[in-house]
Structure 1
Amino acid sequence: MQATRRIAMAATTAVASIGALLAVGSPAQAATITKFCNAPYSPVPGCFYSTGDIFTVQDLRADGKRGVLIWMLDGGRHGECHDANGANNPPTKCDVDLPEGELVTFWTVIRDGADGPESWESEPMVAWTSGR
């Protein structure tokens, strides 16, 4: 009987603790997401910050090529952000003016020169320009 009571008390305490954590964690989960990035292990990390409409791209390979972030809106508008300042330097920032509430798709590539061939391409990322 005593063991059953202890188990019931432990289970009740665990459920109450989890409930308290979820209640405290709810406001943070409801926060607006404003940073969207591709995989952290990418040789060309790229991010979109919906607050300010800023793209960043960073070249992590010392191969004489550049890292390029390519972005495209649903309506067809598109652009590129180039990191041509050498490998392992701080990310290049590109500030653009995008309409709010739009879907933006972006990906990064390794490119030989401004318009040369691409030797690697990341998976595409999808974000919202309004930060939702």
Structure 2
Amino acid sequence: MRSIARAATAVGAAALIVGGLSAAPASAADGRTCVSNQHPTLDVWTGRGCFVGNGDDIEATDLYADGQRTVVDWYTDYGREGECDNALGTGWTVTCDYDMTETGRIKFRVCARSGGINRDCTDWTGWISIRTGEAA
């Protein structure tokens, strides 16, 4: 099941991460870990991905009007993998709802996708608890 919500782009991107393509994840007390990717030549954030422990949700937010989509690739320590793909455009968040094993852990990264090719990906996050949404 996917739900769609309008994202607050400038505030969300600025508040989350400082850095470039290898931005470290920001973790909040609400069980949400987020990372953002940056355009390789411009000083702008292009996308944001979040894992939300309460609900096993992956969020993909497009932050920049560049004609590319934001994709969040993910995998677990028990063999599941997938992606959450946002093709709706700038300012939109796509929430992908997965039923994951609460005792497991997840890693994810955020990429811009153009023509089926992932570009400007962040590094993979460290392990995150699926139950809490925080570093594990």
2:62 matched to 1:62?
A: no
Structure-2 residue corresponding to 1:74: 77
With a CA cutoff of 8 Å and minimum separation of 6, indicate the structure with the bigger relative contact order.
Answer: 2
- The RMSD of aligned alpha carbons is 2.1
Per residue, is there more helix in 1 or in 2? 1
User: Residue 63 of structure 2 aligns to a residue in which SS?
Assistant: coil
Any stretches of 5+ residues in structure 1 without a counterpart? 1-31
Aligned partner of 1:26 in structure 2 is none
Give the secondary-structure state (helix, strand or coil) at the position aligned to 2:46: coil
Map Cα deviations across residues 85-129 of structure 1 (whole Å, 9 max, x no partner): 012x2311110000011110000101114xx11221012223111
Alignment partner of 1:51 is 2:48 = no
Contact 1:71 1:80 in 2 (8 A): yes
Task: Give runs of aligned pairs for residues 29-108 of structure 1, distance below 5 A.
Answer: 34-39=31-36, 42-87=45-90, 89-108=91-110
- Equivalent pairs counted in the alignment come to 99
Q: Distance in 2 between matches of 1:79 and 1:46?
A: 13
**5+ long unaligned stretches in structure 2:** 1-28, 39-44
AA partner of residue 87 (structure 2): A
Structure with the greater alpha carbon radius of gyration? 1
Segment of structure 1 superposing worse, 45-54 or 55-64? 55-64
Partner of 1:44: helix, strand, or coil?
Answer: strand
Paired residues of 1:38 and 1:123 also in contact (CA < 8 A): no
Counterpart position of 2:15: none
Could you tell me whether the CA contact under 8 Å between 2:111 and 2:120 is conserved in 1?
A: yes
Residue 121 of structure 2 corresponds to residue 124 of structure 1: no
Partner in structure 2 of residue 14 of structure 1 = none
* TM-score scaled by length of structure 1: 0.67
Alpha-carbon distance, 1:38 to partner: 1.1
Change (3 A) 1:62 1:40: closer
- Relative to 1, partners in 2 of residues 1:103 and 1:123: Cα closer, same or farther, differing over 3 Å? same
